[in-house]
Amino acid sequence: MRVILLGTAGLLLLLFLGARWVPLDPIERRPGGRLSGTASEAPADWAALIAPRTKVWVQTQPWYGIPHSVTTVSFALDGDLYVPCARCGTKRWPRHVARQPEVVVKVGDRLYECRAVRVEDPATLRRLLGERLQEVDDLWVFRMDPRD
């Protein structure tokens, strides 16, 4: 019985370490784990990388230690990168960001370390989203600032 318990514990440890360190990018609506790509310095002006609306991937750090990543869209405004989240009350990644705002953003094959800051200023939200602000329930927007 002791051998079975030790074997099971060892297997669980290997699975945990693999999930923590092996890259697994999300695919559309299926979440992933650690993002793959090349670490890069965050640009001073995100507009050079982000078209009017570009798909990006965001990796968060849940309390249990295994990275969680999602596919989402992004906007660039005044050189800053913004990531919206519709129906955030039903999603895990905004809760992870609220607890630990350090995230990794993947654009193309490049990884950028950022700090996600929720935008709550109505004027900024109107500039970003315009009429769409009223169309979606429970809409949050995060600005991706460089990490200090």
pLDDT over 70 percentage in the chain: 84
pLDDT of residue 105: 96
pLDDT of residue 11: 66
pLDDT of residue 66: 87
Helix (H, G, I), strand (E, B) or coil at 67: coil
Question: What pLDDT, in 10s, does the model give residues 62-87?
Answer: 998 889 999 999 989 889 999 998 88
Q: Where are the domains of the chain?
A: 2-146
Q: For the chain, list the strands marked E by DSSP.
A: 38-40, 54-60, 68-77, 80-85, 102-107, 110-118, 140-146
Q: What is the pTM of this model?
A: 0.83
Which amino acid is residue 85, in one-letter code?
C
- The CATH fold assigned to 2-146 is Pnp Oxidase; Chain A (2.30.110)
Q: Which residue ranges in the chain fall short of pLDDT 50?
A: none
Please provide the size of the chain in residues. 148
pLDDT of residue 21: 57
